[in-house]
Amino acid sequence: MGERTKYAPGTFSWTDLTTPDQDGAKAFYTALFGWDVQDNDLGEGGVYSMMLVDGKPVCAISPQPPQQQGAPPIWNSYITVDSADATLERAKELGGTVHAPAFDVFDVGRMGVVQDPQGAYFCIWQPKAHIGAERVNGHGMLCWNELHTSDLADAQRFYTELFGWSTETMDMGGSQYHVVGVDDHGNGGLSDMLTPGAPPHWLVYFGIDDLEAGVARIGELGGTVVQPPLEIGDGNRIAVAQDPQSGWFALYAGRFDD
């Protein structure tokens, strides 16, 4: 398990689920991962539910904003930046689309929402009181973010120019995979393994101690296992699933970085 008190710019630092059934999603994920819940008042009867491990925030579950109603649930990937405003302007210059201009989230940070040139959405986060996840790389914690895209070369151009990421190419047997890094640390992946008919998207991975038990538990709780446990080398294994509301997420079991 890695403890975090800050994130370098360009690093994935937070994820939250926006869902039409917040209570149902909270019941599913807390039963799967053992999270504790801290509900924070958003006003007008809404809450932003922080998921906690050892009393520290690891992610959140929130109701869908009005502009997303009718859309599938989504785990949003947040990337830390020095300036939300400057990053959004640069994203537009590089061919991205800004769907939510920079705005303050109370006193905890400043953020915006971007769609990359191929159509995948992500969030940028300028931290203030909230740095992001304070625990990562362990059971029930954020451990990887992976882009599945229709144009890997252009996605690599866009993200490396926007965030200064380094990339290392891996041969995946007919498909390419770019491991992206910040300050010589692995920070996620870019993949051209896009399911036919699926839109480009970022997939969020959570660590799990026992992959087989987790996969079985997903079914018991009303979720769906889309990719059964799969060996990805060096004893590391993954699975991909949907929660009962159809939100996509992935599990990882294996060696974690600090």
In which band, very low, low, confident or very high, does the pLDDT at 67 lie, cut at 50, 70 and 90?
Answer: confident
Domain boundaries, the chain: 2-127, 137-253
The predicted model gives 100-107 an average pLDDT of: 95
Query: pLDDT tens, 34-49?
Result: 999 999 998 776 899 9
Torsion of CA 36, 104, 72, 57, to 10 degrees: -20
Superfamily of structural domain 137-253: 2,3-Dihydroxybiphenyl 1,2-Dioxygenase, domain 1 (3.10.180.10)
Report the candidate in 194, 161, 163, 162 with the shortest Cα–Cα distance to residue 177.
194
Q: Using an 8 Å Cβ cutoff, are 244 and 28 in contact? A: yes
Query: pLDDT tens, 208-226?
Result: 999 999 999 999 999 999 9
In the predicted structure, residue 1 carries a pLDDT above the cut 70: no
The CATH architecture of the domain made up of 2-127 is: Roll (3.10)
Domains 2-127 and 137-253 fall in the same CATH topology = yes
pTM of structure? 0.96
The predicted model gives 136-164 an average pLDDT of: 97
